[in-house]
Structures are given as C-alpha cells and as structure tokens.
C-alpha cells in the first residue's frame, strides 16, 4: 500500500484501479466477514494472525529433515546458548549491585553524600554549625515547636525525658565527628569501628546480665526477645505495677532531667524494687 494516497494510480473514470475489486481490498485489509469478530479484532487463525500454539513456517523448517536425536541436540544447543547469555547478564547485574547500593546511600545518607562531594570537590563543602545541626535533627524527631518540660523530664519515657536523652546522644555524636566530612574511605573505616564498638558494648552488657542474674543463654535470649517486643503500653503497665507495689516507680533518670545514662545508679534503683 502506498504511503501517500495521492500516489495511487487512477483508472480512466477517475477512481483508483483497486476500487470495485473486493479481492484487492481483502488482500490489504482482510475480509471483515470471515476474519474479524464484531469488535473489529482479528480472529486467531485467520490470514492476519496464526492460531495460538501454531508453529510458524520458519520454526517448522528449522527441524525439517531432522530425526529425533538431531532435534534433541538442536534444542539442547539452543538451551545452552540462552543459559550462557543468562549467566553473563546475571554476572553483570551482580557487579552493578555495589554501585546501586552506593548511589542509594549517596541519595539517602547525608553524611555519605557530603563525604562524596568533599572527596571530589572539597571547596564545595562548608563546615556545618553544630548548634544548627542539633536543632535541625531535634526538630525532625520531636517537631520544630516542641519545648521540653524539666519536671516532666524527671519521669522516664516521657517526651521530655526522651528529648534530653536524645540531646546527649547527639552532642556525644557531634563531638566525635569532624566539622568537615571525611573522605569516603575514612568514613567507611569510622563506621566499621562504630559497628565494632556497638557490638562489643552489646556483648559486655549481655555478659553483665548473665553474671548478675545467674541466667543461662536461653534465659537471656528469652529476656532479650521480650524486651524487644515491649511497647509504650507495656511500659505503662510495668510503671503502674511499680506504683501499686511501692507507691512510686524506680527513677531511672538523674536529677538533671535524664540528660545522661548512669547504669550503676539505675541498677541500684531497680534492685530496691525487684531485688
């Protein structure tokens, strides 16, 4: 069929030669009575589309003249070919995974992003104001308008108590960091050391609990699983139980409003209640 209708040759009566010839129309557009359903779509098995599951002529010719063993060998060869291609693609994807993870961390982790920029273009990264950084983080976690109450801060697990605890954590964290981000290599090493320190602290705490309570490993694991599932409601129930039994709850925060964690003092306080 010509791309431009103006190029269709006309007969002597001014009409295209194909007009009036149903066979020519059928060759181009198909016969709607035999090849299309009421919706105008082509019926599978018609001249326009092979029936579902039918083998095309090319596919059929590929196996013409071959015996059963030869057909099996040919199919095995095709399978091996696609298996090789799949293995190559899988290896490429595996090689790209670290790059994908790195790009995600650059996008999601501000510290990684700044270190990456500082490594490429140090002049583009300016030291952050520690106070401003602290206020921004607290605003994200507690809300920009949150104002802690010193009296409330003396009660464990209240919003003000958590606020002051978080201030301490952020100040400690800020004191251990450089004002200008390290290179990616240095940052990676810093985080590795942090993970090791956190793991050691967790192991030391576990050993201390086992020694103090004379527990077995199973007892500790059950305890750790129980603690991990505690919700705010659960803590409120424990608080209520302590109030009923002793008339007060153990004060796990210090007199400054919970701005520092003192394990020895807290353990002594807990021993008064629970032995």
Position 158 in a domain: yes
211, 166: one domain: yes
pLDDT digit string (tens) for 145-173?
999 999 888 888 888 999 999 988 888 87
Per-residue burial over 48-64, b if 16 or more Cβ lie within 10 Å, else e, is eeeeeeeeeeeeeeeee
Position 1 in a domain: no
Per the structure block, which two tokens stand in for 150?
A: 């010193």
269, 154: one domain: yes
Of 110, 126, 142, the residue at which a domain comes to its end is 126
- Cα separation of 205 and 263, whole Å? 10
165, 104: one domain: no
103, 193: one domain: no
122, 157: one domain: no
DSSP 122: G
- Cα separation of 125 and 7, whole Å? 66
Per the structure block, which two tokens stand in for 181?
A: 């981000």
224, 145: one domain: yes
Position 147 in a domain: yes
Domain boundaries, position 167: 129-177+186-274
81, 152: one domain: no
pLDDT digit string (tens) for 32-62?
554 445 444 444 444 544 544 444 555 557 7
**Global pTM value:** 0.42
Position 8 in a domain: no
Number of domains in the chain: 2
Position 32 in a domain: no
105, 151: one domain: no
172, 144: one domain: yes
pLDDT digit string (tens) for 240-274?
887 887 777 766 544 333 334 444 444 555 566 56
Position 50 in a domain: no
Q: First CA to last CA across the chain, in angstroms?
A: 96
């Amino acid at each position: 069929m010509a791309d431009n209708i103006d190029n269709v040759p006309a007969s002597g009566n001014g009409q295209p030669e194909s007009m009036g010839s149903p066979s020519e129309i059928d060759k181009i557009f198909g016969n709607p009575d035999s090849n299309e359903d009421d919706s105008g779509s082509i019926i599978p098995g018609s001249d326009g589309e092979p029936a579902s599951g039918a083998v095309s002529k090319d596919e059929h010719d590929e196996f013409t003249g071959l015996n059963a063993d030869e057909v099996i060998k040919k199919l095995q060869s095709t399978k091996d070919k696609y298996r090789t291609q799949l293995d190559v693609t899988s290896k490429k994807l595996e090689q790209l995974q670290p790059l994908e993870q790195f790009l995600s961390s650059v996008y999601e982790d501000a510290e990684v992003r700044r270190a990456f920029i500082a490594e490429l273009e140090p002049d583009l990264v300016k030291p952050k104001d520690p106070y401003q950084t602290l206020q921004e983080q607290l605003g994200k976690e507690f809300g920009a308008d949150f104002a802690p109450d010193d009296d409330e801060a003396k009660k464990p697990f209240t919003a003000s108590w958590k606020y002051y605890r978080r201030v301490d954590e952020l100040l400690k964290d800020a004191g251990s960091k450089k004002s200008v981000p390290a290179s990616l290599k240095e940052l990676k090493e810093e985080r590795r050391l942090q993970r090791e320190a956190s793991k050691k602290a967790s192991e030391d705490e576990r050993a201390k609990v086992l020694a103090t309570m004379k527990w077995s490993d199973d007892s500790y694991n059950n305890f750790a699983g129980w603690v991990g599932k505690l919700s705010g409601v659960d803590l409120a129930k424990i608080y209520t139980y302590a109030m009923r039994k002793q008339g007060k709850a153990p004060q796990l925060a210090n007199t400054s409003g919970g701005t520092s964690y003192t394990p020895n003092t807290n353990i002594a306080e807990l021993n008064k209640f629970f032995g």
